[in-house]
Amino acid sequence: MNALSFHDVTRTLGGRRVLDGASGAAEQGTVIGLLGRNGEGQTTWFKVLRDLLAADSGTVEVLGLRPDGSGRIRQATGYIPERPTFHSFMSVAEVLALRASLFHKWDSSRAAALCERLGLDPATRLEGASKGTLGKLAWVCAAAHDPALFLLDEPTSGLDALVREEVLSGLVNELGEAGKTVLVTSHRMDELAGLLDEVWVMAGGRIVAVHALDGLRADACVIGGRLRSADAPPAVPGAIPLGGEGLVRSWAVLDRATRERLLGCGALESPSVEPLPLDRAFSHLLCLKGGELR
Amino acid sequence: MSIPLIRLELRKNRLAAASAAAAFLVTLPVCRLVSAATGLELKLSLDAALTAWVLLGVPLAAALVGAAAGASAASRDANECEALLPPSPGRRAFSSLAASVLLAAAFAAFVLATGAALGMPPSRFLSPGQKAWGASFWYGLELSPLLAIAALDVLAGAWTLSRLLGHGVAGGLLALAASALTGAAVAVCFGLQIEHHAWGASCLKTAFVLAAAGALAKVGAGVVAARGAERRTGAHGLAAVLALLLLPAAAIWGRAWTELRMLDARATPLEAEAVYRYQSFDGRYPRGSRALAAAGEGALLRTVRGGVLVADAAGVRALVPEQNSGLSELLLEPFKVWVHGSWRDEKGVLWIERYVSPNTELWRAEGPKAESRRMTDGGSISMIGGVPLKHRYPDAKRLLLAPVDEYFVRGDGAAWFEGYKTFLTRRRREAPAGLVACGGTCLEAGGRRWKLPGAALDPDPVYPDEAGGRRAYLVPVRTAKGEQVALCRADGTTAIAWPLHGSTYQGLPDGTLFSFGPGSTLWAVGPGGEVGEPLSYARLSLELAKPRSSRPAVMRRAEGKAWLVWGGKLTVLDAEGRTVLSRPLPDGIEETVPLKDGFVFTTRRSAWFSDWTGKLRRVENPR
For the stretch A110-153, pLDDT in tens is: 999 999 988 899 999 999 888 888 988 998 999 999 999 999 88
Q: Cβ distance B519 to B536 under 8 Å?
A: yes
CB contact under 8 A, A86 and B5: no
What DSSP assignment string belongs to B9-66? HHHHTHHHHHHHHHHHHHHHHHHHHHHHHH---HHHHHHHHHHHIIIIIHHHHHHHHH
Which of B85, B221, B222 lies closest to A102 in CB terms?
Answer: B85
Selection from B25, B27, B46 nearest residue B35 by Cα = B46
What is the pLDDT confidence band of residue B251, given thresholds at 50, 70 and 90?
Answer: confident
Which of A14, A81, A141 lies closest to B230 in CB terms?
Answer: A14
Using the Cβ of A52 and the Cβ atoms of chain B, whether some distance falls under 8 Å is answered with yes
Cα distance from N-terminal residue to C-terminal residue, chain B: 53
Indicate the SS3 state at residue B601: strand
Q: Cβ distance A143 to A137 under 8 Å?
A: no
Q: What is the pLDDT of residue B227?
A: 39
Q: Percentage of chain A with pLDDT > 70?
A: 97
Residue B582 or residue B75, greater confidence: B582
d(Cα B183, Cα B157) in Å, to the nearest integer? 14
| pLDDT tens digit sequence for B55-99 | 889 999 999 999 999 888 888 777 778 877 888 877 888 888 899
Supply the mean pLDDT for chain A: 85
| pLDDT tens digit sequence for B146-175 | 788 888 888 988 988 888 888 888 889 988
d(Cα A137, Cα B47) in Å, to the nearest integer? 52
Q: Cβ distance B100 to B189 under 8 Å?
A: no
Of A82-96, A206-220, B9-23, B392-406, the least confident: B392-406
In the stretch 50-89 of chain B, residues with CB closer than 8 A to chain A read: 77-78, 80-81, 83-89
* B2, pLDDT greater than 60: yes
CB contact under 8 A, A87 and B5: no
Using the Cβ of A50 and the Cβ atoms of chain B, whether some distance falls under 8 Å is answered with yes
* A35, pLDDT greater than 50: yes
d(Cα B355, Cα A22) in Å, to the nearest integer? 76
What is the pLDDT confidence band of residue A283, given thresholds at 50, 70 and 90?
Answer: confident
Using the Cβ of A127 and the Cβ atoms of chain B, whether some distance falls under 8 Å is answered with no
CA A109 to mean position of chain CA atoms: 29
Which residue in chain B has the smallest CA separation from A151? B84
Q: What H or E segment, with its residue span, contains residue A46?
A: helix A42-49
d(Cα B354, Cα B338) in Å, to the nearest integer? 6
Q: Cβ distance B537 to B551 under 8 Å?
A: no
Using the Cβ of B545 and the Cβ atoms of chain A, whether some distance falls under 8 Å is answered with no
Residue A68: which residues within 8 A CB-CB, separation 6 or more? Answer: A51
Residues in chain A closer than 8 A to B10 (CB atoms): none
Residue B295 or residue A224, greater confidence: A224
Using the Cβ of A251 and the Cβ atoms of chain B, whether some distance falls under 8 Å is answered with no
d(Cα A115, Cα B453) in Å, to the nearest integer? 89
Phi, psi (rounded to 5 degrees) for B122:
-55, -35
Phi, psi (rounded to 5 degrees) for B532:
-95, 170
Distances (CA, A) of B331 to B41, B191, B246, B260, B348: 30, 6, 21, 11, 37
Residue B161: which residues within 8 A CB-CB, separation 6 or more? Answer: B67, B70, B170, B171, B172, B174, B175, B238, B241, B242
d(Cα B83, Cα B81) in Å, to the nearest integer? 6
* B293, pLDDT greater than 50: no
Q: B509-528 burial string, b = 16+ CB within 10 Å, else e?
A: bbbbbbbbbeebbbbbbbbe
Which of B11, B80, B89 lies closest to A85 in CB terms?
Answer: B80
Q: ipTM of the predicted structure? A: 0.78
Instruction: Kindly state the DSSP code that residue B433 receives in the 8-state scheme.
Output: P
Mean pLDDT to the nearest integer, A36-54: 85
| pLDDT tens digit sequence for B200-211 | 666 777 777 777
Using the Cβ of A109 and the Cβ atoms of chain B, whether some distance falls under 8 Å is answered with no
- Kindly tell me the burial class for residue B319, based on how many C-beta atoms sit within 10 Å of its own C-beta (0-12, 13-18, 19 or more): buried
Selection from B334, B337, B301 nearest residue B192 by Cα = B334
In the stretch 12-51 of chain B, residues with CB closer than 8 A to chain A read: 12
Dihedral sign for Cα B166, B172, B177, B182, please: positive
Q: Percentage of chain B with pLDDT > 70?
A: 66
- List the domain boundaries for chain B: 3-261, 268-430, 432-508, 533-623
Selection from A127, A125, A129, A155 nearest residue A140 by Cα = A155
Which of B8, B77, B87 lies closest to A85 in CB terms?
Answer: B77
Supply the mean pLDDT for chain B: 75
What is the pLDDT confidence band of residue B194, given thresholds at 50, 70 and 90?
Answer: low
Is the preceding peptide bond at A155 cis, omega within 30 degrees of 0? no
Using the Cβ of B1 and the Cβ atoms of chain A, whether some distance falls under 8 Å is answered with no
Of A38-52, A227-241, B67-81, B274-288, the least confident: B274-288
- The total of other beta-carbon atoms located within 10 Å of residue B379's CB is 25
Q: Cβ distance B558 to B546 under 8 Å?
A: no
| pLDDT tens digit sequence for B520-577 | 999 998 888 888 889 999 999 999 988 878 899 999 999 899 999 999 999 999 999 9
CB contact under 8 A, B86 and A72: yes
Residues in chain A closer than 8 A to B77 (CB atoms): 85
Q: Cβ distance A114 to A143 under 8 Å?
A: yes
- List the domain boundaries for chain A: 2-213, 215-293
* B270, pLDDT greater than 70: no
Among 2.40.10, 3.30.160, 1.20.120, 3.30.457, name the CATH number for the domain at B533-623.
2.40.10
Mean pLDDT to the nearest integer, B504-524: 84
Phi, psi (rounded to 5 degrees) for B73:
-65, -25
Q: What is the pLDDT of residue A68?
A: 83
Residue B43: which residues within 8 A CB-CB, separation 6 or more? Answer: B119
Which of B84, B88, B222 lies closest to A141 in CB terms?
Answer: B84
Q: What is the pLDDT of residue B195?
A: 65
3-state secondary structure B510-551: CCCEEEEECCCEEEEECCCCCECCCEECHHHHHHCCCCCCCC
* CA dihedral of residues A34, A37, A41, A44 (deg, nearest 10): 70
Residue A16 distance to chain B (closest CA, Å): 9
Indicate the SS3 state at residue A95: helix
Dihedral sign for Cα A62, A63, A65, A71, please: negative
Residue B88: which residues within 8 A CB-CB, separation 6 or more? Answer: A69, A70, A71, B221
Using the Cβ of A47 and the Cβ atoms of chain B, whether some distance falls under 8 Å is answered with yes
Residue B228 or residue A40, greater confidence: A40
CB contact under 8 A, A101 and B4: yes
What is the pLDDT confidence band of residue A54, given thresholds at 50, 70 and 90?
Answer: confident
Q: What is the pLDDT of residue B221?
A: 46
Residue A85 distance to chain B (closest CA, Å): 5
Which of B80, B87, B230 lies closest to A71 in CB terms?
Answer: B87
Residue B229 or residue B621, greater confidence: B621
Using the Cβ of B235 and the Cβ atoms of chain A, whether some distance falls under 8 Å is answered with no
Residue B19 distance to chain A (closest CA, Å): 18
Cα distance from N-terminal residue to C-terminal residue, chain A: 34
Mutate to test the interface with A, among B72, B84, B95, B231 (most CBs of A within 10 A): B84
Q: What is the pLDDT of residue B592?
A: 84
CB contact under 8 A, A75 and B86: yes
Q: What is the pLDDT of residue B330?
A: 52
Residues in chain B closer than 8 A to A141 (CB atoms): 84
CB contact under 8 A, B80 and A98: no
CB–CB contacts below 8 A, A to B: 60
CB contact under 8 A, A70 and B88: yes
Residues in chain B closer than 8 A to A85 (CB atoms): 77, 80-81
Residue A197 distance to chain B (closest CA, Å): 26
- Kindly tell me the burial class for residue A161, based on how many C-beta atoms sit within 10 Å of its own C-beta (0-12, 13-18, 19 or more): exposed
| A2-213 has CATH 1.10.10.10 classification | no
Residues in chain A closer than 8 A to B2 (CB atoms): 102
Indicate the SS3 state at residue A160: coil
* B222, pLDDT greater than 50: no
Instruction: Kindly state the DSSP code that residue B276 receives in the 8-state scheme.
Output: G
d(Cα B208, Cα B212) in Å, to the nearest integer? 6
Class of domain A215-293: alpha beta
Which residue in chain A has the smallest CA separation from B78? A87
What single-letter amino acid sits at B63?
A
What is the pLDDT confidence band of residue A294, given thresholds at 50, 70 and 90?
Answer: very low
* B290, pLDDT greater than 60: no
Q: Cβ distance B131 to B138 under 8 Å?
A: yes
- Angle, CA A127 vertex, CA A121 and CA A131 arms, to 5°: 70
CB contact under 8 A, A69 and B80: no
Which of B4, B81, B230 lies closest to A85 in CB terms?
Answer: B81
Residues in chain A closer than 8 A to B88 (CB atoms): 69-71
| pLDDT tens digit sequence for B439-492 | 889 998 878 899 999 999 887 777 777 665 677 888 889 999 889 999 998 888
d(Cα B562, Cα B565) in Å, to the nearest integer? 10
CB contact under 8 A, A53 and B8: no
Using the Cβ of B229 and the Cβ atoms of chain A, whether some distance falls under 8 Å is answered with yes
What is the pLDDT confidence band of residue B48, given thresholds at 50, 70 and 90?
Answer: confident
Of A134-138, B355-359, B379-383, B521-525, the least confident: B379-383
Residues in chain B closer than 8 A to A144 (CB atoms): none
* B223, pLDDT greater than 70: no
| pLDDT tens digit sequence for A171-186 | 777 787 788 899 988 8
* B187, pLDDT greater than 50: yes
* B317, pLDDT greater than 70: yes
d(Cα B441, Cα B478) in Å, to the nearest integer? 10
